[in-house]
Amino acid sequence: MQLRHGTDKRPWTFYVLAAFFTLFVSFLYGPMCAIYLLSFQGPNGGLTFPMHGVSLQWFAALFAQHRTGDFAGSFLRSILLAVLVLGITVALSVMAGLAFRRRFVGATLVFYLAIASLIMPGLLVGLGIGLMCQLVGLQPAWYTSALGAQLTWTLPFGLLIMFAVLSRFNRFYEEAARDLGASAWQTFAHVVLPILLPGIIAVALFGFTLSYDEFARTLLTVGPSNTLPLEIWAMTTNITSPALYALGTLTTVVSFVVIAAALTALAVLQHRRAQRRPHAAVTR
């Protein structure tokens, strides 16, 4: 097999698999590239190829409200909601993850509740929350019911990440801190939190992007004003112009910026701590 026999020669299977991998990556990115290209479609161009010139017209069209819907408003709402979800998810997941380090009554129940939340189809959750609001007489809104709906999707992810991170956390750090005179709060702030920071950044990343792109759960719970994915959805049901593609490009750019920020933060942290193989759960 291809194990490190000490030779540099790679077996033929490597090339086959590498080719397959390249195919897969192009499968992943290829169609999106079509969108990015088409968003620069010329003024007379249609929804598909060929390109009739290159222009930024469709990007401009997004900001003209009457043609394409409330882009700016829904964009703002999406960002705000995502930030809210990020904050709440980080806080609640970190706390709950810490709780699970000890045994407590109902731990298994909470765990299964989180798993159930993960696998429940989004539309069902949205339906349930919508009905619940109706019964209680509450008006659904993006900052209440949609927020809660999105949390049912992000919190389980956050919790699972915290599980993975905390399972590798050496409890002796806390004991050492205590030994050196740190109070419970000092131990948390100066030792636990900094060491968990990469995991927390991961949770934050999940929280933001899952919320920013969330669609099914938000559909029935958002109330009168849309988030961006819903705007996009409204547009897809009657695709009439490449403005949709322009929207797609823009929203993807935002996502990429957030991802890049998170990854940079992680890379900086790793570099500063000069950890050699943080993922080597195998060989230890």
Partner 1 sequence: MTQSGDIALVNVTKRFGTTVAVENLNLHLPHGSYCCLLGPSGCGKTTILRLIAGHETPTAGDVRIGGASVVGLPPVQRGTAMMFQNYALFPHLTVLDNVAFHLKMRGVGKTERRRRAYDMLTRVQLDPFVARMPAQLSGGQQQRVALARALITNPRVLLLDEPLSALDEFLRLQMRGELRRLQQELGITFIHVTHTQLEAIAVAEIVVVMDQGRIAQAGPDPEIYTLPRNAYVARFMGGHNVLNGTVTAATHGMATLASASGERYAVLLPPQTITVDDAVCCSIRRDRIAVTKAPPGQAARPTEPNAIGGTVHAIEYQGAYVKVTIQRPGHEDIVAHVADSDFFTQHLDIGNRVVARWAAEDVHLLETEHGCKTGRAVVDQPYGWACDMPAM
Partner 2 sequence: MKEGGIAMKLSPRIVPYLQVAPLTAVLLVFLGIPLAVVVGVSFFDYDDFAVRPAFMLRNYLELFGSSLTYTLYLKTLTYTAIVWALTLAIGFTVAYFLAFHVRTFLWQMALFLLCTVPFWTSNVIRMISWIPFLGLNGIFNQTLIALGVVDKPLEFLLFSDVAVVIAYVHLFTLFMIVPIFNSMARIDRAVIEAAVDAGANAWQVIWEVVLPLSKSGIALGSIFVVTLVMGDFFVVKIMSGGQSASVVLAMSNEIALLQYPPAAASAVVLMLLVMLLVAAILRLVDVRQELSG
Q: Residue 51 touches which of partner 1, partner 2, none (CB < 5 to 8 A by kind)?
A: none
Binding mask 20-59 for partner 2 (x = CB under 8 A): xx--xx-xxxxxx-xx--x--------xxxx---------
Nearer to partner 1, 110 or 269 (CB): 269
Q: Which stretch binds partner 2 (CB under 8 A): 8-16, 61-69, 79-87, 190-198?
A: 8-16
- Upper half-sphere CA count for residue 120 (Cβ side, 13 Å): 22
CA 153-157-163 angle, to 5 degrees, is 150
**Of 96, 197, 265, 266, which lies in the binding site for partner 1, with binding defined by CB under 8 A?**
197
CB neighbours (10 Å) of residue 96?
17
In the list 190, 236, 264, 267, the residue contacting partner 1 (rule: CB under 8 A) is 190
Backbone angles phi, psi at 136, to 5 degrees: -80, -15
Q: Indicate whether 177 belongs to the interface with partner 1 (CB under 8 A).
A: yes
The rounded Cα 164 to chain-centroid distance in angstroms is: 17
Give the span between the Cα atoms of 215 and 102, in whole angstroms: 35
Q: Is the peptide bond before 224 cis (omega within 30 degrees of 0)?
A: no
Contact partner, 194, from partner 1, partner 2, none, Cβ < 5-8 Å per class: partner 1
- In order of 82, 124, 150, 156, 234, the CA distances from 129 in angstroms are 19, 9, 11, 18, 21
Residue with Cβ nearer partner 1 (5 or 279): 279
What's the min distance (Å) between Cβ of 184 and partner 1?
A: 10
- For residue 74, the partner it binds in partner 2, partner 1, none, with Cβ less than 5 to 8 A by kind, is none
